[in-house]
Amino acid sequence: MNPSRIAPRIALVAGEASGDLLAAHLIKALQVHLPDARFYGIGGPKMQAACFESLWPAEKLAVRGYAEVLRHYREITGIRRQLLKQLKRDKPDVFIGVDAPDFNLWLERRLKSAGIPAIHFVSPSVWAWRGGRIRHIARSVTRMLALFPFEPELYERHRVPVSYVGHPLADVYPIQVDRRLARERLGLEEGGGPLFALLPGSRQSELQYMAETFIETGKRLLERFPQARFLVPLATRETRNLFEAALWRLGAQDLPFKLLFGHAPDALAACDGALVASGTATLEAALMKRPLVIAYKMSPWSWRLMRRMRYQPWVGLPNILAGRFVVPEFLQDEATPENLAQALGNQVSDPVVATRIEAVFTVIHRTLRQNTVEKAAAAILPYLGQGASG
């Protein structure tokens, strides 16, 4: 750290809702040690609530899939070039890229070459697909902060400095979830049919491909469970608008769908079973010990490319962490309302299955509970002239 600078400058980039949450927790942990630090870059509302200065809206980076990225390529690369120019001029004491590997690793390689420590928080899924990226990562990062216990060995093999820090959500959520309290927080009455949580994604591109499928799945569940109710947590005004538009297109606006701004953890804690788009929300469902079905759809072109580069038979984090299929996954053409409704209905109707799932997810929860943000802060502080990295 520059000894003449009183307040350290810490630059971060987080491009979507899950990264915004992780980064916000990290900022708060670093502020305990560095109360005068300035945090700036690109981030969402949770980071901004922690006194983070966002130079561009995080939503600009929240696109997924090759076809979707190509449509926004010029804008995204323009933002990245402008940010790189500013950071090379400012020379922050450290740069922390939170997830968003395609955006952040490009930045990190150039910042590292310019003498700015580049730390990546959340390992890219090199264990699932595109494993060749690890050589690019080795050239790009000063240190990798890994959330999952099987990741450090992969980086150590390529001589990449790495710290296993666990997953912050495992620290935030209790081992034993109080379902009744969650329902009270959401103003739900007890009784009636099963309560389902539908989480079609946090990005607009995800809603465009999955909103109608999730609604049609709900309609089929209502045929089997006439008293069923549905909770639909949506991350932004834009994603809520997309879901509401899909409800009207399908004539489902009067069905028992309760749309929520955020509140995904409460919805998952309250529900009897969940349908979740593949991503961090599937881990949240696992930490809530809930039966779930994982679904994902993207553009046909993106799907063809990703399918060729997969290394494992599963894509959902709960199954990856368990090393086997614990909950069903339906991807692309298999993610039909009929398949999803049948699988989810079967899960919530079988108490033996629910008990088995809860036991597996409890083991995962305990493994990931590592006091993550403190470990992550401890790994970062040495690059700011404080402490020793782990």
Residue ranges and CATH numbers for the domains of the chain are 9-166+370-384 (3.40.50.2000), 172-368 (3.40.50.2000)
| Residue 131 confidence (pLDDT) above 60 | no
More confident residue, 307 or 98: 98
Q: Please, which residues have CB within 8 angstroms of residue 350's CB and are 6 or more apart in sequence? A: none
| 319-331 residue pLDDT tens | 999 989 999 999 9
SS3 56: strand
Amino acid in position 292: L
Average model confidence (pLDDT) across the chain:
89
> What's the average model confidence in pLDDT over 272-278?
94
The 3-state DSSP composition of the chain as helix, strand, coil percent (nearest 5) reads: 50, 15, 30
Confidence of residue 305 (pLDDT cuts 50, 70, 90): low
% of the chain beyond a pLDDT of 70: 89
| 155-169 residue pLDDT tens | 998 899 999 999 988
pLDDT score recorded for residue 102: 84
% of the chain beyond a pLDDT of 90: 67
Structure tokens at 58: 């995080």
More confident residue, 7 or 358: 358
Confidence of residue 1 (pLDDT cuts 50, 70, 90): very low
Name the phi and psi angles at 197, rounded to 5. Answer: -105, 130
pLDDT score recorded for residue 148: 92
pLDDT score recorded for residue 66: 45
The Cα-based distances of 233 to 8, 156, 243, 275, 328 in angstroms read 37, 39, 10, 12, 21
pLDDT score recorded for residue 351: 93
Confidence of residue 314 (pLDDT cuts 50, 70, 90): confident
| Residue 67 confidence (pLDDT) above 50 | no
> What's the average model confidence in pLDDT over 273-281?
91
pLDDT score recorded for residue 62: 58
pLDDT score recorded for residue 203: 82
Give the span between the Cα atoms of 181 and 128, in whole angstroms.
Answer: 36
What secondary structure does DSSP assign to 186-245, as a single string?
Answer: TTPPS-SS-EEEEE--SSHHHHHHHHHHHHHHHHHHHHH-TT-EEEEEESSHHHHHHHHH
| 199-249 residue pLDDT tens | 998 888 889 899 999 999 999 999 999 999 999 999 888 999 999 999 999
Confidence of residue 17 (pLDDT cuts 50, 70, 90): confident
Q: Please, which residues have CB within 8 angstroms of residue 61's CB and are 6 or more apart in sequence? A: 13, 15, 16, 42, 76, 79, 100, 103
> What's the average model confidence in pLDDT over 161-180?
93
pLDDT score recorded for residue 386: 72
pLDDT score recorded for residue 297: 86
- State the CB neighbour count (10 A cutoff) for residue 130: 16
Using alpha carbons only, give the angle 109, 114, 116 rounded to the nearest 5 degrees.
Answer: 80
| Residue 349 confidence (pLDDT) above 60 | yes
